[in-house]
Amino acid sequence: MAVDGVSFDLAGGEFFCLLGPSGCGKSTLLRMVAGFETPDSGTIRLGETDLTALPPHRRPVNMMFQSYALFPHMSVAANLAYGLKGLGLGRTQSAERVKALLRLVRLEGFEARRPDKLSGGQRQRVALARALAREPRLLLLDEPLGALDRALREETQGELRAIQRRLGTSFVVVTHDAEEAMALADRIGVMERGRLVQVGPARELYERPASRYVAGLLGDVNLIDGRLGRAEPGGVRGVETALGLLRASGEGEAGNAVVVAIRPERLVVSGEGEGEGDDLSGRLRGRLTEATFLGDRIRYRVEMANGSTLRASAVLPASGPIPAVGETVAVAVPADAARILPA
């Protein structure tokens, strides 16, 4: 089953991202909303209108395709004007709308160009403009930035957000890139094998993921298996792990098998004897096997006594001396940094 029991509400003017790896069903879900796939059960409603039975060309929803799907035999202007037919606009009005669209995506003067004479970034902007031509209340974007190189992608992310905010249209973007989802969306919906497993703003998903899957999807994370201790006031409780007793926040029944999730940037690595401070849940000891310089941060790999590896990172310039590879180091786990997830 490509999409299984998915249900959520989208607010007007919201920028929503469907995030997941390939095959998770996000594109299928998007195509269902656009009308290119039919759900076996369920409804798709836009405001008061039930879209489920409507064919794609009658839905007030538009889609920007991953391959852009620009009509190669038409000029940019003709592509943009294609959707305007049947809307009852006169010729001048149509031409004005096309001009406004080109202005919106900063492609003034490109009316007569053919798609094959445009760069990748330009084609992407024409595809976006074309999808906005009919002024839909909901715009669907299938991996819109996938074909762009890194620098262009970041720049376009900003432009996309700006356009969305200006128009007030609801956007649903499908992507497999977690960073992109976090950069663009008001809320993210994480999909796993056809199911929607968590919905929320980026920060919530990052700091309080509902499962190992969501945690791993949004960034690098250390996952340590353990057994949950008794509940304590304040929300923080102990978890018995192979690395010792860790303190973490979250829910669950005492005695359950759980996973403790800690983001690398929350772990504090210091040489033996360094780094005190309160509020430490405990300091673990291990051997530093790697310290990689990555420009704005340094990435550590620490081998623990039981053979497992913890990944940590620290912002540069470092506040203290950087331990040397091979040294024994202390890894501090702040209590609010560790999160309890179901096993």
Partner 1 sequence: MRGPSRRLSQRLGRGFVRGLPFLWLALFFLVPFAVTLKISFSSPATAQPPYLPVLEWDGGLEGWREFFEALDFQNYQMIAADALYRDAALSSLGYAALATAILVLIGTPTAYAMARASARWQPILVALVIVPFWTSFLIRVYAWIAILKPEGLLNAALIKLGLIAAPLPILDSPFGVLIGLTYAYLPFMVLPLYAVMSRLDPALTEAAADLGAGRARAFFTVTLPLSLPGLAAGALLCFIPMVGEFIIPDLLGGSDTLMLGRVLWSEFFSNRDWPLASAVAVLLLILVVGPVVLFREAELRREEAAEGAQR
Residues that bind partner 1 (CB under 8 A): 34-36, 55-58, 62-63, 65-67, 69, 71-73, 75, 82-83, 85-87, 112-114, 117, 130-131, 133-134
Q: For 333, phi and psi rounded to 5 degrees?
A: -115, 100
Reduced to 3 states (helix: H, G, I; strand: E, B; else coil), residue 143 is coil
- In this complex, which beta carbon is closest to partner 1, that of residue 57 or of residue 150? 57
- In this complex, which beta carbon is closest to partner 1, that of residue 44 or of residue 330? 44
d(CA 195, CA 178) in angstroms, rounded, equals 17
Structure tokens at 223: 């996952």
Q: Which helix (H) or strand (E) holds 259?
A: strand 257-262
Q: Is 154 exposed, middle or buried (0-12, 13-18, 19+ CB in 10 A)?
A: middle
- In this complex, which beta carbon is closest to partner 1, that of residue 136 or of residue 286? 136
Q: How far is the CB of 114 from partner 1 (least distance, A)?
A: 7
β-pairing, 15-19 vs 170-175, is parallel
d(CA 293, CA 342) in angstroms, rounded, equals 34
Q: For 125, phi and psi rounded to 5 degrees?
A: -70, -35
- In this complex, which beta carbon is closest to partner 1, that of residue 136 or of residue 229? 136
Residues 6+ apart with CB under 8 A from 152: 120, 121
User: Looking at this protein, which amino acid is placed at residue 223?
Assistant: L
Which of left, alpha, beta for 307 (phi over 0: left; psi -120 to 50: alpha)? left
- In this complex, which beta carbon is closest to partner 1, that of residue 130 or of residue 247? 130
Q: How far is CA 122 from CA 107, 113, 147, in A?
A: 8, 11, 12
- In this complex, which beta carbon is closest to partner 1, that of residue 29 or of residue 284? 29
Q: How far is the CB of 37 from partner 1 (least distance, A)?
A: 11
Q: How far is the CB of 38 from partner 1 (least distance, A)?
A: 14
Q: How far is the CB of 117 from partner 1 (least distance, A)?
A: 6
Q: How far is the CB of 146 from partner 1 (least distance, A)?
A: 14
- In this complex, which beta carbon is closest to partner 1, that of residue 66 or of residue 122? 66
Q: How far is the CB of 170 from partner 1 (least distance, A)?
A: 16
Q: What angle do CA 172, 175, 179 make, to 5 degrees?
A: 110
Reduced to 3 states (helix: H, G, I; strand: E, B; else coil), residue 109 is coil
Q: How far is the CB of 65 from partner 1 (least distance, A)?
A: 5
Q: How far is the CB of 109 from partner 1 (least distance, A)?
A: 13
- In this complex, which beta carbon is closest to partner 1, that of residue 35 or of residue 229? 35
β-pairing, 195-200 vs 187-192, is antiparallel
Residue 317: asked if its preceding bond is cis (omega within 30°), the reply is yes
